[in-house]
């Protein structure tokens, strides 16, 4: 990590961060976590935090809860939170599904899964996040009408995502297939690399019934 990132982690994690322990744990009370009542967006795999910071800055009426395992990314997002005075951002360190299981059902306005690890080798597909059992947990935490928005540059994974999401009886696809790229989703570094390499980007946007 850079010196700036180390400093941000040391000073800011106690205010804006939370550790996600493995195994059973106490439920997370979102109003207390953010210090206000507002719709909550969960950002799974926030990376270096640039996308989360940009979206939270443009959307101050909603709270953004980012979860990431990569310490430099967490530290960088904390630095962005301070630099841009993002009072509506909190950063969780740990496993995303463990975090989701601690959230109350129906408590989220949206879940964003942007460019998750595609685990391209067939023997590793079981590690993919967008799988039926995982989707059921994510969807259960959405409020009625809440949005599950996924994006990937891996064509085979995009098709698998669509099949998995279409099969969930509580999710509705208003686009009937892949969605047009929404203007509110910033271009990530992974997306830039994919576009330079000629890989198409697939957005999938579903709503909970």
Just list the catalytic residues: 117
Task: Tell me whether residue 117 is annotated as binding.
Answer: yes
109 is in an annotated binding site: no
**19 assigned to a ligand binding site:** no
Q: Is 189 annotated as a binding residue?
A: yes
> What would the two tokens of residue 171 be?
């999710």
CA atoms 99, 165, 200, 178: torsion sign = negative
Report whether 121 belongs to an annotated binding site. yes
Q: What does the block give as tokens for 165?
A: 């999401």
50 annotated to bind ligand: no
DSSP-assigned letters across all residues of 139-174: HHHEEEEEEEEEEES-HHHHHHHHHHHHH-TTEE-T
Binding site annotation covers 2?
Answer: no
Report the candidate in 91, 35, 86, 87 with the shortest Cα–Cα distance to residue 66: 91
Secondary structure letter of residue 110 according to DSSP: E
Chain centre to alpha carbon of residue 129: 11
191 is in an annotated binding site: yes
CB atoms inside a 10 Å sphere around CB 189: 12
Rounded Cα distance, 62 and 9, in Å: 24
Determine the Cα–Cα distance for residues 161 and 16; give it in Å rounded to an integer.
32
DSSP string, 81-104: HHHTT-TTEEEEES-HHHHHHTSP
Q: Would you list which residues are annotated within the binding site for S-adenosyl-L-methionine?
A: 43, 68, 95, 117
Q: Would you list which residues are annotated within the binding site for substrate?
A: 121, 153, 188-191
Q: Would you list which residues are annotated within the binding site?
A: 43, 68, 95, 117, 121, 153, 188-191
């Amino acid at each position: 990590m850079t010196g700036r990132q180390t400093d941000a982690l040391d000073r800011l994690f106690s205010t804006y961060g939370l550790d996600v322990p493995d195994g059973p744990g106490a439920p997370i009370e979102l109003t207390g976590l953010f210090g206000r009542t507002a719709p909550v967006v969960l950002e799974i795999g926030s990376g270096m935090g640039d996308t989360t910071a940009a979206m939270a800055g443009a959307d101050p009426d909603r709270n953004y809860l980012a979860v990431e395992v990569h310490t430099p990314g967490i530290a960088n997002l904390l630095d962005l939170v301070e630099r841009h005075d993002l009072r509506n951002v909190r950063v969780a360190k740990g496993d995303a599904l463990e975090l989701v299981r601690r959230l109350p059902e129906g408590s989220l306005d949206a879940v964003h899964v942007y460019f998750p690890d595609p685990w391209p080798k067939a023997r590793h597909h079981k590690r993919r996040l967008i799988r039926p059992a995982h989707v059921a947990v994510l969807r259960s935490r959405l409020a009625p009408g809440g949005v599950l928005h996924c994006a990937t540059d891996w064509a085979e994974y995009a098709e698998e995502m669509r099949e998995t999401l279409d099969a969930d009886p509580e999710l509705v696809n208003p686009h009937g297939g892949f969605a047009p790229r929404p203007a509110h989703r910033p271009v990530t570094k992974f997306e830039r690399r994919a576009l330079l390499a000629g890989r198409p980007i697939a957005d999938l946007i579903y709503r909970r019934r």
